Amino acid sequence: MSARQKRSSAANLSSGMNEILHQLCCIGCGARIPGAAARSDFRCTVCGELYDVEYPGWSQRGGQDRPNPGGLKWVLRERRSSTEAVDQSGVWRFRELLPILDNFGNAVTLREGNTPLYHMTRAARALKIDQLFAKHQGMNPTGSFKDTGMTAAMSVAKAWGFECVACASTGNTSAAMAAYAARAGLRSLVLIPEGKIAWGKLSQAMDFGAVTCQLKTDFDGCLRLLSQIVNEAPIYLLNSVNPYRLEGQKTPAFEIAEAFDWSVPDHLIVPGGNLGNSSALGKGFREMLELGLVTKMPKISVIQAAGANPLVRSFREHQAASLEPVVADTRATAIRIGNPASWRKAVRAIQETGGWCLDVTEAEIAIAKAEIGAEGLGCEPASAVTLAGLKKLRAEGKITSGETVVLILTGHSLKDADYTIDFHRGTLLKEEEAAGREAEIAALRRDAVAVEATPDAVLAALKGSAR
Ligand code: F0G
C-alpha cells in the first residue's frame, strides 16, 4: 500500500484528524486540499510548492470556529494550573489555535513548550538596548525547538495510523523525532550527513531507538533521498516540509505574546537553516493578528551563517524572488543547509514584518556563543547567530535602544559540547577566521587548567583568572 493510500484509508476509518476545521493551502498556487490528500513529500501536485495549514472557519468574523480573544486568554491562563498532560504542554495549551486533531487527549506529548524568556542583562548593557530577551527553546524536553513541532506532527502520524516515521536531519530533528516516535510506539528512521552532526544529537537518536543511517551526502542530499523513499513506502515524513510541524512550531509566538501580556516585542531574531522555524513564528504572529489577540506583528529577522547563506544571497542578488542553492559549510552544523525547503515562507515572514536577513562569520558566531554562555544561559552554535546578528543590526542602526528585542535560542548548549570545548581551548577557529578578533576571543576563553591538589595552587589559579 502506498503512503498516500495508507493515509487515505486510515483517514476514512477513523481519522483522529480534524478534517472539517482545517485544510492545506499551497503557498505557490493557492490550491486547497484536505490534509489526507497531500502527497507523501508534502509538495503541491499542481505546482510543487509547500502547503500551509489553514482554518477556513476563522476567516468569518464571529464564525463558529473563530476563537474569541478574551475568552481564549482566560482559558490559557487557567490551563497553567491544570494537571492534564495536554494542558501542561506549551503546545496543546494553545489547542484552539491549532485545531488539527479530533481528540487532543491522543496527542503525543512530552510536556514541551512553556520555555523560559530570560532577560539578557549583559548583552543588553553592552549593546545599549533596554529590553533584550532570550526565548530559550533549548529548554524543551530533547533540548531544542523541534519538540514543539514534533508533538504536533507525530500526533498526526499516529492519528493517521502510520507505523513508521522518518526525517533527514542535521541532528535536532532526529533527536526530537526519535523521542516522540518512541512515546507514540512508532518506528523511526533517521538520515543524517556522515560526520556532520554533533555527538549529543546523534546519541539522542540512538538512545531513543531510531534506525540511524549516516549517509555520504549533506543534509540537502538526505532530504532529497528521503522524499523518494516516502513515495515508495508507507513512511510518514517529519521534516518541516510537513505543514503540521509548523503548527507546533508557531506556538512559541503565542508564548511570547502571552509573556508580554498580549502586546508583542518590536523585534524577533531567528536563526535560519531549512527556514521552517522563522516561517512558523511568522505564521503564529500573523494568525494572532488576524484573530485579534494582538495588534501588530514584530519585525522578524533571519540570520544565517556566512558559509550557509542561500537566503541572504537570495535577498542580495534576486530580491528574494528566487533562491539558488549553495554548498553549505559552517561549524554551526545545525544550520549547515544549502537548499532550504521553506525559503518562500520565510521570505513572506521577513517581508510582511519589515525584518532583515543577514549572515555572520564563524568568529562572530563563536564570540556570540561564548557571550551567551557568560550570561549563564548557554546555547548551541546555531542559536548564537541571533546575538551575532543583533550586534550587526544594532551597529547598522536598524535596531534602536528603545526597542524590545527577543532572540530565539533554538538549542541547548550541551547539544554540541565539542564546539564549546574547542572554543575555550583555542582550537575552534583557524587563524584567518579569528584575525582581528583575537583580544575579544581571549577575554572570553575559560580553558580548564591543570592544577596541583593544594589550596595554594587552586587559589593562585583563581587569582590568575580574575578579570
Ligand atoms: N537552530 C537549531 C539548533 C537547529 O537545529 C536548526 C535546524 C535551526 C536553528 C534552523 O531552523 O531549519 O527551521 O530554519 N535544524 C534542523 C535539524 C534542520 O535537522 O535538526 P530551521
- pLDDT tens, 344-363? 999 999 999 999 999 999 99
Average pLDDT on 65-90 reads 95
Band (7; pLDDT cuts 50, 70, 90): low
User: What pLDDT does residue 2 have?
Assistant: 46
Range with the poorest average pLDDT among 203-217, 396-410, 452-466: 452-466
- pLDDT tens, 223-271? 999 999 999 999 999 999 999 999 999 999 999 999 999 999 999 999 9
Band (10; pLDDT cuts 50, 70, 90): very low
User: What pLDDT does residue 64 have?
Assistant: 73
Helix residue spans in 292-380 (DSSP H): 310-318, 343-353, 362-374
Atom of ligand 1 nearest to the CA of 201: 20
Atom of ligand 1 nearest to the CA of 176: 20
Average pLDDT over the chain reads 95
Rounded Cα distance between 43 and 239, Å, is 12
- pLDDT tens, 111-143? 999 999 999 999 999 999 999 999 999 999 999
Mutate-to-test residue for ligand 1 from 241, 331, 385, 410, highest number of ligand atoms within 8 A of CB: 410
Q: Which residues of 354-376 are buried (b: 16+ CB within 10 A; e: fewer)?
A: ebbbbbbbbbbbbbbbbbbbebe
Lookup: cell for 136: 530559550
Lookup: cell for 109: 506529548
The closest alpha carbon to 246, from 336, 391, 344, belongs to: 344
Ligand 1 centroid–CA 94 distance in Å is 23
Element at 289 (helix H, strand E): helix 276-291
The answer, yes or no, to whether any atom of ligand 1 lies below 6 A from the CB of 173, is yes
Average pLDDT on 377-387 reads 98
Rounded Cα distance between 364 and 374, Å, is 15
- pLDDT tens, 37-48? 999 999 999 999
Q: Looking at the chain, how many residues does it have?
A: 467
- pLDDT tens, 138-152? 999 999 999 999 999
Q: What percent of the chain is predicted at pLDDT more than 70?
A: 95
Rounded Cα distance between 311 and 242, Å, is 20
Ligand 1 centroid–CA 203 distance in Å is 17
pTM of the model: 0.95
Residues whose CB falls within 8 Å of the CB of residue 54, separated by 6 or more in sequence, listed in order: 22, 23, 24, 25, 32
Ligand 1 centroid–CA 172 distance in Å is 7
For ligand 1, atom 4, the nearest C-alpha belongs to: 334
Ligand 1 centroid–CA 276 distance in Å is 8
Rounded Cα distance between 82 and 77, Å, is 10
Ligand 1 centroid–CA 273 distance in Å is 5
DSSP bridge pairs for 267? 299, 405
The helices-and-strands tally (H runs, E runs) of the chain is 19, 13
Rounded Cα distance between 380 and 365, Å, is 10
SS3 429: coil
